[in-house]
Amino acid sequence: MSTRVLPPGPTDPATEQVRRYIETPIEFWEACERDFGATITLELGSLGRVILLSDPEHLRELFRLPTEAFECHQYNEHYRYVMGDLSLLLQDGATHKRQRRLLAPMFRHDQLLPKMSEMRDIVLRIVDSWPAGKAFNPRPSLHDITFQTMVRLIFGDLDSPTSSALITAYQKSVSGQVGSWGPWRNFSRMQPQIRLLLADEITARRADPDTPGFMTHLALSTEADGTPLSHEECEDHVFSLLVAGVDTSAISLAWALHWLSRKEDIRERLIAELPQAAGEETGKALLSLPYLQAVYAETIRMYPIVPTPSGRKLLRETTIGPYTFDEGVTLVPCTYLTHRREELYPNADEYRPERFLERKFAPYEFLPYGGGARICVGEMLAKYEFTVAVSAILGRWKIETTDAPAMRPVRHGTLLAPPDSVELTVH
């Protein structure tokens, strides 16, 4: 029997709830869960009434909702200035479905596997300039790796005028800002010039459909009636992939290095496993190394980089578990709290990759990439980048063990990341 009673939640004014949600999210979510349980009603200012969900059974129901039942663009509005009006994150309904069908094939295994050796070259070229024996913050170079990987995939090379211009624009405007709340703000100011370059790319690829890179796929794609995609839409997809796919993947690498420099036993076990993939280091063999894949999963379980995937604003009355919610309420999965559930992850505060060798988790128990119709389109790319980068770094450098305490994440906009003070020493 469903009931009309809303889940409990804090009675603080909305402004205070917003402040805590933004400034101290982990402490706020943990306090709410302690006081009110797994399903919590919040009042979040412009987002209105928000229900935070972390019970796996409720998430299973949420991820199964038909796309006609909710919208996400309201929750993702803050990306509009940098991703563009036609970004996937800002679409719902039929347009969202069409755009997913357009983008998803670019990030499938058969597309990405042949690119793994180029990804490895990018990693090795960038980490080669790390300073031996001297503590440094690896964050900017990790963002360079994931940015250049994305540029390489989209444009097919790193040396063309467009690729070079994008890399320069990124290094000038974003690289030094990776720990800030809006690292892409200055980049977005260069959009008019970048759009001119992208327009030339679209024209050139329509004239020569054999040009490598995802940009050709976008340029040659059509609407259902056969008309080519607008320039604006192709360009907005490029901006969306760069913004959604670069910082997220780089932060997963930053966390991996954070843990591997603190957990010598885990690092040694991982290093011992890598030779099994020797000779095939950039391909399938790496992806099937169980401990490397467990380290990957545990890294994005421990501190989910996107701790709250897109909120689903209900377009009709909807029942989840014992609750029936009115149209207009926003349901937000709280991945952070689900990944902290003791019955799923005993000693959840401990970084222990072995837990992923001991049992399998359902998609509503382990959800670093969200779920359902909005699940991250770049999930496979992020996994392949992690696999390639971590194995390449461990092959190139010896990581020094530090006895510095583990760090708590901080908010970088919508993402959770290690604080800027994170340091690494390599030999």
Give the span between the Cα atoms of 181 and 70, in whole angstroms. Answer: 28
The interface region with ligand HEM, picked from 216-224, 228-236, 270-278, 363-371 by CB under 6 A, is: 363-371
Nearest approach, Cβ of 254 to ligand HEM (angstroms)? Answer: 11
Q: Which CB, 277 or 300, lies closer to ligand HEM?
A: 300
Give the span between the Cα atoms of 149 and 161, in whole angstroms. Answer: 16
Give the span between the Cα atoms of 60 and 318, in whole angstroms. Answer: 14
Q: Contact letters (x/-) for ligand HEM, 309-348, by CB under 6 A? A: xx--------------------------------------
Nearest approach, Cβ of 310 to ligand HEM (angstroms)? Answer: 3
Nearest approach, Cβ of 382 to ligand HEM (angstroms)? Answer: 3
The interface region with ligand HEM, picked from 289-297, 345-353, 372-380, 399-407 by CB under 6 A, is: 372-380
Burial class from Cβ neighbours inside 10 Å (0-12, 13-18, 19+) for residue 398 reads exposed
Nearest approach, Cβ of 10 to ligand HEM (angstroms)? Answer: 24
Query: Does residue 370 touch ligand HEM according to CB under 6 A?
Result: yes
The interface region with ligand HEM, picked from 3-11, 125-133, 244-252, 254-262 by CB under 6 A, is: 244-252
User: What is the total count of residues that contact ligand HEM (CB under 6 A)?
Assistant: 27
195 CB-near residues (< 8 Å, 6+ apart): 231, 235
The interface region with ligand HEM, picked from 4-12, 167-175, 240-248, 268-276 by CB under 6 A, is: 240-248
Nearest approach, Cβ of 217 to ligand HEM (angstroms)? Answer: 13
| CA proximity to 5, closest of 322, 333, 320 | 322
Among 107, 296, 336, 366, binds ligand HEM (CB under 6 A): 107
Nearest approach, Cβ of 41 to ligand HEM (angstroms)? Answer: 20
The interface region with ligand HEM, picked from 5-13, 158-166, 169-177, 302-310 by CB under 6 A, is: 302-310
Query: Does residue 65 touch ligand HEM according to CB under 6 A?
Result: no
Assess contact for 374 and 310: CB atoms under 8 A: yes
Among 126, 297, 305, 331, binds ligand HEM (CB under 6 A): 305
Query: Does residue 294 touch ligand HEM according to CB under 6 A?
Result: no
| CA proximity to 369, closest of 329, 349, 339, 410 | 339
Query: Does residue 32 touch ligand HEM according to CB under 6 A?
Result: no
The interface region with ligand HEM, picked from 4-12, 120-128, 299-307, 388-396 by CB under 6 A, is: 299-307
Nearest approach, Cβ of 417 to ligand HEM (angstroms)? Answer: 11
Among 25, 84, 138, 371, binds ligand HEM (CB under 6 A): 371
**Contacts within 8 Å (CB) and 24+ apart, 277-286:** 277/391, 281/120, 281/391, 281/392, 281/395, 282/116, 282/117, 282/119, 282/120, 282/388, 283/113, 283/116, 283/117, 284/113, 286/116, 286/387, 286/388, 286/391
Query: Does residue 262 touch ligand HEM according to CB under 6 A?
Result: no
Nearest approach, Cβ of 335 to ligand HEM (angstroms)? Answer: 7
Query: Does residue 122 touch ligand HEM according to CB under 6 A?
Result: no
Among 82, 377, 389, 422, binds ligand HEM (CB under 6 A): 377
Assess contact for 336 and 29: CB atoms under 8 A: yes
Query: Does residue 376 touch ligand HEM according to CB under 6 A?
Result: yes
Interface positions with ligand HEM (CB under 6 A): 88-89, 100, 107, 240-241, 244-245, 248-249, 252, 300, 305-306, 309-310, 368-371, 374-378, 381-382
